[in-house]
Amino acid sequence: MAPHSRYVADRGLTTRMVTTMFFIGLLYVVLVGVLVAALGNAWPLVLVIAGGLFVAQFWFSDKIAAFSMGAREVTPQQAPELHGAVDRLCALADMPKPRVAIADSDVPNAFATGRNQRNAMVCATTGLMRRLERDELEGVLSHELSHVAHRDVAVMTIASFLGVLAGILTRVALWGGIGRNAGRDNNGVGLLVLIIPLVSAVVYVISFLLTRLLSRYRELSADRAGALLTGRPSTLASALTKISGDMSRIPTRDLRKAEPYNAFFFVPAFSGESLATLFSSHPPLERRLEQLRRISTQLGQ
């Protein structure tokens, strides 16, 4: 739900977030349990690393995301147009103003991050601000602010973390506990070398699919909530069309740098047609535009 704001609540999104977190938590327990059982006396190390990484990711997710994407916080004097748009939308939505940042990138995009409204940050790239008109920019920012209001940014951050954790813990297991036991039980070590990467791979695949399913729905939910707040779905549709069309003109190297963060972006960055489009974190452009057309018709009535 979206308390303390005028963004329309989405029970479907809430249900999906709760379901995703339940299964992600179950996978987390299974992964740690398998490693604890496999490593014997090394289990305290696994628990400490797993717990420490989880806490660090949750509490510092906004800073990690900002650093990874090259975002820098800006003042109203440095970016008056961007701050003005965020001010207007926050007043309209009756929600606290997040920190505002700019990423120096020609890839036209925007994202929101933060574990709650008090720690939230909204960022736009220089490429986005250069290409969009003021009302189009407000449409994109309204979309991003709805992620903050619906609290799905925190859920996506936690859900995405499990795949990273699976890889880290597997490396620790293979380099640490298994290595120390190598001289004592070669048969057991061989079995662990097979089981631990297999479990890790299964956990990664399931968590990947869960986050992709949630991500596609949350983008549609953010489009809907953002358009209803501003009352101008056509401006968001215009921004979507313009940004998606311009992606083909962006250098491939820049798109490849942005692709790891697609789940958090307004529009995914793809370096041409690839297998990645089959597992996109966003619904197809046609579906997003069709939803906005329906909203425009409803508001017109």
Per-residue pLDDT, 280 = 81
The helix/strand/coil state of 71 is strand
Q: Check 136, 138, 144, 219 and give the catalytic one.
A: 144
Nearest one of 49, 269, 210, 200 to 57, comparing CA atoms = 49
Mean pLDDT by 10 residues, the chain (301 residues): 74 92 82 71 72 74 76 95 97 94 94 85 95 96 95 80 63 55 52 68 78 91 96 96 89 81 84 56 93 94 74
Residue 225: how many other CB atoms lie within 10 Å? 25
E strand spans, the chain: 71-73, 99-103, 110-113, 121-125
DSSP secondary structure, 131-187, as one string: HS-HHHHHHHHHHHHHHHHHTHHHHHHHHHHHHHHHHHHHHHHHHTHHHHHTTT-HH
Q: State residue 87's pLDDT score.
A: 97
For residue 1, the model assigns a pLDDT of 43
Is 136 marked active-site?
A: no
186: β partners? none
According to the model, what pLDDT value does residue 119 have? 84
Query: What confidence score (pLDDT) does residue 142 get?
Result: 97
End-to-end CA distance of the chain: 27
The helix-helix angle for 80-93 and 186-230 (nearest 10°) equals: 80
Query: Nearest Cα to 115, choosing from 161, 163, 70?
Result: 161
Phi, psi at 236, each rounded to 5°: -70, -40
What is the pLDDT, as a whole number, of residue 138? 97
Task: Compute CA 219 distance to the chain's CA centroid, rounded to the nearest angstrom.
Answer: 10
pTM (2 d.p.): 0.84
- Residue 280 CA, distance from chain mean position: 12
To the nearest 5 percent, what fractions of the chain are helix, strand and coil? 75, 5, 20
Distance, in Å, from the CA atom of 260 to the CA atom of 72, rounded to the nearest integer, reads 19
What pLDDT, on a 0 to 100 scale, did the predictor assign at position 60?
76
Please, are residues 254 and 106 in contact by the beta-carbon 8 Å criterion? Answer: yes
